[in-house]
A and B are shown apart, each in its own frame.
Chain A
Amino acid sequence: MATETLTMGKALNLGLRRAMEDDAKVVLLGEDIGRLGGVFRITDGLQKDFGEARVVDTPLAEAGIVGTAVGLAMRGYRAVCEIQFDGFVFPAVNQIITQVAKISARTQGRQHMPVVIRIPFGGGIGAVEHHSESPEAYFAHTPGLKVVAVSNPVDAYWGIQQAIASPDPVVFLEPKRRYWEKAEVDLDATPEPLFGSRVVRGGDDVTVLAYGPMVKTALQAAEAAAEEGRSLEVIDLRTLAPLDLDPVVESVRRTGRCVVVHEAPVSLGLGAEIAARVTETCFHSLEAPVLRVGGWDVPYPPARIEEEYLPDLDRVLDAVDRAMGF
């Protein structure tokens, strides 16, 4: 059994490599992904091994990356787009929302759109403006897209391969501050389904939901809470569209309390939708309102004060305290 200790970045690299080996129609498009290997080195070495026709250093034009991916898909290719940073996806949003998301419905299913749009997202790396954003709600709000956010090397390795194999478009969110986190990855395992949530720590008092970079934060909060005798159940949502709330409903019916954590601004974020859904399905089990922990409703702040913007262990525990106080 081939088990390797991999960073998330390396796991993504190996996952992309394996997807390209498995399917000659897989083509990578992005800025600086070829010779440089990407600014985060996620595509390191792939152009050398698969050639310039399959790992394409594109012009500096994000709408072009996604728009040509659409055309490649129409010709039978599976394009994997790298958007260099979250804040640079916006020039491509027209293509993503008016085209990528709608072509299956427009064609009554005659034309599928197997396009993957990889986006390193989230903050915590001390970056300049536009390099720390969490745009997931825009995409999760758009019918026709599927949106996943990985939190660990195992899901990164398998998830990128599953996203590429999917006949539907997938916005694939990679928590850039976790690129260097390591885990054991069994390269021969049978992967979990891409579009499913998972309980990553069992508990009885409060259900804490997180995805992407905040899963680690939630787990740290659960550790700290345990020292105070509080038992948090942590669920890694993994998929944001479609949402898989079955494990959440099962958990909240037991705990009666639910806290949703994300880096994106709280108002109209994923947490709002989840709170509504949990309230609809678990109303009679709830001991407290569903609480949300997230970024403030401000443009992402300068790096020197981003720690005050980002949810951390203390803010998660504060919400847990409030949930327990009802």
Chain B
Amino acid sequence: MSTVPPEVADPVPGSGAPHLPPQPDLVQLLTPEGQRVEDPTYSIDLGADELRGLYRDLVLVRRWDVEATALQRQGELGLWASLLGQEAAQVGAGHALRPDDMAFPTYREHGVAWVRGVDPLHVMSLFRGVDNGGWDAAATGFNLYTIVIGAQTLHATGYAMGVQRDGAESAVLAFLGDGATSQGEVNEAMIWASSFQAPVVFFCQNNQYAISAPIERQSRVPLFQRASGFGFPGVRVDGNDVLAVLAVTRAALAAAREGQGPTFIEAFTYRMGAHTTSDDPTRYRLADELEEWKLRDPIARLKVHLAHEGLADAAFFAEVDAEGDELAARIRSGTTSMEPPPAVSMFDAVYAEQTAPLAAQRAEFEAYQQSFEGAGH
């Protein structure tokens, strides 16, 4: 058998490197084995109730996520973007926010939505195709999902410029993924945030893949090192360590509120599931890698820590699991009974002040619909 000689040389060989957490520069407060460790810069001191609360959130958002994936498979959702494996990054970041802070998510931040008090059904309605997100962004301090990659980082930066002009001591948390760091708009956002010292923190969940493209295709340097080129600090945190994420994000938001400008946080994590329910990750990544990351599970390590330190007992864990099942049941029944809005509503919020041509088109559509109703009965 002859091999076909390559006609085009691979300009960047070596992009098949394993995507495992490199230990240098990684902020970690809870090891994958559940052991508390200290970091020279970041610390956290949480009581038992707070630790149990974090565990509860991690379990509940995973339970929600599992139920949502099942609902998609059963045809009840058009799509689901799973957060599996990224629970600690999201729950930790969400808990770092104060009520008056504002978060700008991508489309995968279900864990942050949960912590901000967004009803999961208001997220499910988006993926069911009933609306584009049913929650109130201003009331929850959690903007609607933005699907265009990276566009929300500019909104976050502009919002932070508004916070500055209000003289308010609030901060803004802009979520993005590793793929988004290649977007021009994200680079513009970081330039603006730096130039105006806007109180915004860029929280990048590096889950190693942008659909199929590995991180090496986005960056030849560790992402957190990019920040220095923009003129603000970059931190790499173990994204599967909820304590470290919380500590690092809290510190960055506090600095932003105090007028010290932006920080870039790279939460080093792994997308355990597919990009979305439409994706098939077996085509582009190895099972070995997944197995390696299973050993770094964000929930298991906190559970070990709680149990080992005597901070929670079997009854507590069972109680949380039961609560998860109740939540899943509520999400399931709420989702499957969700009706689409009347079609004519598509005309109603295009503008704050409706235009005459669109009002006429709306009337035309209604008359067209009624012509069937009249004929059918």
Name A76's contact: one of B137, B162, B164, B184 (CB within 8 Å): B162
B349 closest partner in A (C-beta) = A109
Q: A71-B161, A74-B158, A104-B350 in contact; A111/B166 too (CB < 8 A)?
A: no
Nearest CB of B to A107, in Å: 6
Tell me the chain A residues, 53-96 only, with Cβ under 8 Å from chain B: 53, 58-59, 61, 63-64, 66-77, 79, 91, 94-95
B355 near A195: Cβ-Cβ < 8 Å: yes
Query: Once the chains are docked, how many angstroms separate the CA of A58 from the CA of B148?
Result: 23
Chain B count of residues within 8 A CB distance of the other chain: 45
Asked if B353 is an interface residue, CB under 8 A from chain A, the answer is yes
B38 at the interface (CB under 8 A from A): no
| Closest CB in chain A relative to B293 CB, distance in Å | 33
B351 engages A68 (CB within 8 Å)? no
Beta-carbon contacts of B128-145 to A below 8 Å, as 1s and 0s?
A: 000111101110000110
B158 interface neighbour in A53, A72, A109, A111, Cβ under 8 Å? A72
Task: Using known A-B contacts A75-B158, A108-B349, determine if residue A94 contacts B137 with beta carbons closer than 8 Å.
Answer: no
Query: B185 — nearest CB in chain A belongs to which residue?
Result: A63
Q: Which residue of B lies closest to A99 (CB)?
A: B151
The answer to whether B188 and A75 touch across the interface, beta carbons within 8 angstroms, is: no
Query: Is B351 a contact of A244 with CB atoms below 8 Å?
Result: no
The stretch of B26-34, B91-99, B189-197 in contact with A is B189-197
Report which of B138, B161, B185, B356 forms a contact with A95, defined as CB distance below 8 A. Answer: B185
Binary per-residue interface labels of chain B (344-355) against chain A in the complex, 1 for a CB within 8 Å, 0 otherwise: 001011111101
Take A61-B188, A74-B137 as given contacts and tell me if A104 and B349 are in contact as well, using a CB distance cutoff of 8 Å.
yes
Q: Which residue of A lies closest to B346 (CB)?
A: A105
Complex alpha-carbon distance, A243 and B358, angstroms: 10
CA distance A59 to B191 in the complex (A): 8
- In the bound complex, residues from chain B placing their C-beta under 8 Å from that of A75 are 158-159, 161-163, 166
Q: Which residues of A contact B132 (CB under 8 A)?
A: 105-108
User: Which of B137, B144, B157, B355 has the most chain A CB within a 10 Å cutoff?
Assistant: B355
A107 touches B137 (CB 8 A): yes
Whether B154 sits at the interface, judged by CB under 8 Å, is yes
Contacts of B358 in A (CB 8 A): 143, 242
Q: Which of A74, A99, A106, A110 contacts B159 (CB 8 A)?
A: A74
1/0 per position for A120-159, CB-CB distance to B under 8 A? Answer: 0000000000000000000000011010000000000000
Cβ of B160 under 8 Å from chain A: yes
Would you call A67 and B185 a contact (CB within 8 A)? Answer: yes
Asked if A68 and B157 make an inter-chain contact with CB atoms under 8 angstroms apart, the answer reads yes
Query: Is A112 in contact with chain B by the CB < 8 A criterion?
Result: yes
Given known pairs A61-B188, A74-B159, the reply for A167 and B357 (CB within 8 Å) is no
B79 to chain A, nearest CB (A): 16
Interface size class of A (residues with CB under 8 A): 35 or more
- Cα distance A34–B196 in the bound complex, in angstroms: 15
**Interface SS majority for chain B:** helix
CB distance from B255 to the nearest CB of A (A): 20
Q: Is B283 interfacial (CB 8 A cutoff)?
A: no
- Chain A residues with CB under 8 Å of B189's CB are 64, 67
The answer to whether A95 touches B137 (Cβ under 8 A) is no
Complex Cα–Cα for A168 and B350 (A): 9
Q: Does A166 contact B (CB under 8 A)?
A: yes
Interface string of A222-255 (1 = CB under 8 A from B): 0000000000000000000111100000000000
Instruction: Please indicate the chain B residues that have their CB under 8 angstroms from the CB of A27 in the complex.
Output: 165
Whole-angstrom CA separation of A84 from B346 in the bound complex: 34
Q: In the bound complex, what is the Cα–Cα distance between A193 and B136 (angstroms)? A: 32
Indicate if A190 sits at the interface (CB-CB under 8 A).
no
A104 to chain B: which residues have CB within 8 Å? 349-352
Contact with B along A163-188 (1 / 0, CB 8 A): 00011100000000000000000000
Picked from B163, B191, B349, B350, the residue with its CB within 8 Å of the CB of A64 is B191
Given contacts A72-B162, A111-B137, contact A67 B351 (CB under 8 A): no
Q: In angstroms, how far is the closest chain B Cβ from the Cβ of A296?
A: 29
Chain A residues positioned under 8 Å from B306 (CB to CB): none
Among A68, A107, A108, the residue within 8 A (CB) of B154 is: A68
The minimal Cβ–Cβ distance linking A274 to chain B, given in whole angstroms, is 12
Interface bits A278-294 vs B (CB < 8 Å: 1, else 0): 00000000000000000
Instruction: List chain B residues, Cβ under 8 A from A112.
Output: 352
Choose from B131, B137, B161, B195 the contact partner of A59 (Cβ within 8 Å): B195
Q: Does B201 make an interface contact (CB < 8 A)?
A: no
Is residue B155 within 8 Å, beta carbon to beta carbon, of the partner chain?
yes
Known contacts: A71-B161, A74-B143, A146-B351. The answer to whether A95 contacts B166 by CB under 8 A is no
A210 to chain B, nearest CB (A): 20
Any chain A CB within 8 A of the CB of B156? Answer: yes
Known: A104-B350, A107-B144. A72 touches B161 (CB 8 A): yes
Please state if B137 and A105 are interface contacts (CB–CB under 8 Å): no
Q: A-facing mask of B158-180, CB < 8 A → 1, else 0?
A: 11111111100000000000000
Neighbouring B residues of A108 by C-beta, 8 Å: 131-132, 134, 349
Residue of B nearest to A73 (CB): B158
Q: Looking at the complex, which one of B163, B185, B350 makes contact with A105 (CB distance below 8 Å)?
A: B350
A104 vs B357: C-alpha distance when bound (angstroms): 18
Tell me which residues across on chain B come within 8 A of A71, comparing CB atoms.
154-162
**Within the assembled complex, what's the spacing in Å between the Cα atoms of A71 and B198?**
12
Q: Interface code B332-370, partner A: CB below 8 Å = 1, 0 otherwise?
A: 000000000000001011111101111000000000000
Q: Do residues B151 and A94 form an inter-chain contact, with CB atoms below 8 A? A: yes
Interface pairs A-B: 6 shortest CB-CB? A71-B158, A67-B154, A75-B162, A68-B158, A109-B349, A167-B352
Given contacts A67-B158, A68-B192, 7 further A-B contacts (CB under 8 A): A61-B192, A63-B185, A67-B155, A67-B188, A75-B159, A95-B151, A168-B353
Can you list 27 A-B pairs, Cβ within 8 angstroms, ordered by A? Answer: A27-B165, A61-B192, A64-B157, A64-B192, A67-B154, A68-B154, A69-B158, A71-B157, A71-B161, A74-B158, A75-B163, A75-B166, A79-B158, A95-B151, A98-B148, A99-B148, A104-B350, A105-B346, A108-B131, A110-B136, A111-B138, A166-B352, A166-B353, A167-B352, A195-B355, A242-B356, A243-B357
